């Protein structure tokens, strides 16, 4: 094995090992990688955060060799979402390790584990496919802790002979974890959801509602151009604000907004915004008229409540039972509130003679 | 600031009789819900459970149970409207 590997350089471009005569040699299919990310890697991650070709942002499953990994080097398991792979190897600077990439259809470890694609069967199969027993002399694989929802460690051991050791939640803790005899401290085990964690998720929240917002915008523009309705910026911005509050502001301020249910957190912010918007226009009844004010009070919080509620799916601490419970109460209120709000918008337009 | 979600909803259940105290559940829990208590484990903070199911999946003795599933509001609504099991793949929402 050393003969095959010594000729391979450690440059940043993934490099396929030379095919030798012996096709049964598992080292032939190992791909060399490095801990250095290139500009396209960062650009690709940024695009994926905005939902651009996100589902195609993946790499080939298989075994990757980082640095000068030999038979004793640790094996780290990850998903084939390219961002997962890149962020893992970036944290392994100066280390020699094997990275076993499972086929999760380009989904990250935690989400794929929830669906079972990052799972016991795929791990056992991938260990066999890459010929891991012939490549490493030990029988341990390090699975990221968040993969544990899909992997049963005792099953993997029984069926593959490999012991699963659960690594830290965050890749940045891996060097410390390895130095510490593969033991994770309590802080390495706990999932966080800090400001930055939430910030990087908000673009996807915006992209998710881009279509309905643009459709409504196009419709309003059309009505405006045909002269049927005069659409003014001051009539529109409270509603655009509702979207921004539900999709961005509420997720960012999440722990600082009183209450526990996401729908409530979004509603209260939306309500405050609607009140503020009315006062910015000169107080109740003075700006758009009382009917339109009432419409904003009903419609704006309904929108931000719904969007904030959707952020439960991206959060790292909400339970399915909890989401179901809050939805039972919130969804009917949101729907009714939005419907009455919409009717009031039409009534106010008719009253103003613009419809 | 610490995130707290709804109280008294988590479906996490523990069967003490089956537990042998191996502690793998403590390793996989992302919210430190469980603690070691002598030769067994114990539920310390049930309201912190997000029902990810990692503990139940990895318990070799079947001592833990959690009802798991996609905790995404849009997926649940979509599932209710179409009568299908909620999944996050269908709407290209949060999960990737």
User: Per the structure block, which two tokens stand in for A235?
Assistant: 């009539």
Q: What is the pLDDT of residue A8?
A: 39
Q: Are A312 and B31 in contact (CB < 8 Å)?
A: no
pTM above 0.95, yes or no: no
Q: Say which range, A167-181, A277-291, B29-43, B46-60, has the weakest mean pLDDT.
A: A277-291
> What local confidence, expressed as pLDDT, does residue A40 receive?
87
By Cβ distance, the residue of A148, A316, A318 closest to B54 is A148
Q: Check: CB of residue A319 under 8 Å from CB of residue B50.
A: yes
Q: Are the C-beta atoms of A81 and A57 separated by less than 8 Å?
A: yes
- Among A55, A146, A310, beta carbon nearest to B73: A310
Do the Cβ atoms of A168 and A188 come closer than 8 Å?
Answer: yes
Please name the member of A154, A204, A255 whose beta carbon is closest to the beta carbon of B94. Answer: A204
B interface mutation test: which of A85, A253, A319 has the most B CBs within 10 A?
A319
Q: What's the mean pLDDT in B37-50?
A: 94
Mean pLDDT on B4-11: 94
- Put simply, the answer to whether A323 touches B76 (Cβ < 8 Å) is yes
Whole-number pLDDT of residue B80: 79
Q: Please enumerate in sequence order all residues whose Cβ is within 8 A of that of A198, keeping only pairs 6 or more positions apart, or say none.
A: A251, A252, A254
In a 3-state reduction of DSSP, which class is residue A163? Answer: strand
Which of the residues A116, A177, A320, A332 would you substitute to probe the B interface, choosing the one with the greatest number of B C-beta atoms within 10 Å?
A320
DSSP A92: T
**DSSP string for A34-65:** -SPPPHHHHHHHHHHHTTTTGGG-B---EEEE
DSSP assignment, residue A81? B
pLDDT attached to residue A198: 95
Q: Which of residues 56-85 of B touch A (CB under 8 A)?
A: 57-58, 60, 67-77
Residue found under tokens 């802080």: A187
Question: How, if at all, do strands B40-43 and B34-37 pair?
Answer: antiparallel
Phi, psi (degrees; rounded to nearest 5) at A33: -140, 180
Distances in whole angstroms, Cα of residue B57 to Cα of each of A105, A163, A173, B40:
22, 16, 24, 18
Q: What is the pLDDT of residue B1?
A: 63
In this prediction the ipTM stands at 0.88
- Residues in chain A predicted with pLDDT less than 50, given as ranges, are 1-14, 19-22
Tens of pLDDT, residue by residue over A239-255, are 999 999 999 999 999 99
Predicted local confidence at residue A29, as pLDDT: 86
**Closest CA–CA distance from residue A338 to any residue of chain B (Å):** 16
Q: How high is the pLDDT of residue B88?
A: 57
Q: Return the pLDDT at A17.
A: 52
Residue A54: how many other CB atoms lie within 10 Å: 20
Which pLDDT score is estimated for A6?
38
Cα distance between residue A299 and residue A292, in whole Å: 10
Query: Are the CB atoms for A350 and A283 separated by under 8 Å?
Result: no
pLDDT at B11: 95
Report the largest interatomic distance among the alpha carbons of chain A, rounded to a whole angstrom: 85
Confidence band (pLDDT; 50, 70, 90) for B79?
confident
Residue bearing tokens 């999932």: A191
């Amino acid at each position: 094995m050393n003969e095959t590997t010594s000729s391979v350089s450690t440059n940043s471009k993934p490099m396929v090992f030379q095919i030798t005569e012996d096709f049964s040699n598992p080292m032939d299919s190992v791909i060399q990688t490095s801990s250095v990310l290139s500009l396209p890697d960062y650009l690709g991650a940024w695009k994926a955060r905005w939902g651009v070709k996100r589902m195609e942002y993946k790499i080939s499953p298989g075994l990757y060799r980082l640095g000068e990994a030999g038979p004793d080097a640790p094996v780290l398991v990850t998903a084939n979402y390219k961002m997962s792979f890149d962020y893992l190897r970036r944290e392994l600077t100066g280390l020699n390790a094997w990275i076993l990439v499972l086929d999760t259809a380009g989904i990250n470890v935690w989400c794929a584990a929830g669906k079972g694609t990052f799972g016991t069967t795929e791990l056992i199969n991938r260990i066999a496919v890459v010929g891991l027993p012939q490549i490493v002399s030990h029988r341990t694989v390090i699975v990221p802790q968040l993969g544990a929802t899909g992997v049963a460690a005792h099953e993997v051991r029984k069926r593959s002979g490999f012991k699963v050791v659960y690594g830290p939640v965050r890749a940045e803790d891996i060097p410390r974890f390895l130095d510490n005899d593969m033991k994770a401290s309590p802080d390495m085990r706990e999932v966080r959801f800090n400001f930055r964690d939430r910030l990087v998720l908000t673009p996807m929240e915006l992209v998710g509602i881009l279509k309905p917002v643009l459709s409504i915008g196009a419709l309003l523009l059309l009505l405006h151009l045909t002269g049927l309705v005069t659409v003014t910026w001051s009539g529109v911005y409270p509603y655009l604000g509702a979207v921004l509050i539900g999709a961005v502001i509420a997720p960012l301020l999440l722990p600082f907004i009183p209450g526990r249910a996401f729908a409530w957190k979004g509603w209260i912010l939306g309500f405050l915004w609607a009140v503020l918007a009315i006062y910015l226009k000169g107080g109740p009844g003075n700006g758009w008229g009382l009917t339109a004010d009432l419409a904003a009070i009903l419609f704006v919080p309904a929108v931000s409540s719904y969007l904030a509620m959707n952020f439960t799916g991206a959060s790292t601490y909400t339970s399915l039972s909890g989401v179901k419970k809050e939805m039972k109460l919130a969804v009917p209120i949101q729907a009714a509130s939005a419907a009455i709000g919409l009717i009031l918008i039409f009534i106010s337009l008719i009253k103003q003679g613009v419809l | 600031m610490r995130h707290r979600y709804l109280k008294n909803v988590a479906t996490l259940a523990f069967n003490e009789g089956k537990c042998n105290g191996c502690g793998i559940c403590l390793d996989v829990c992302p919210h430190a819900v469980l603690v070691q208590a002598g030769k067994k484990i114990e539920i310390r903070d049930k309201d912190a459970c997000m029902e990810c199911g990692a503990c139940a999946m990895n318990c070799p003795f079947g001592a833990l149970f959690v009802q798991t599933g996609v905790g995404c509001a849009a997926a649940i609504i979509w599932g209710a409207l179409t009568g299908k099991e909620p999944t996050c793949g269908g709407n290209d929402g949060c999960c990737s």
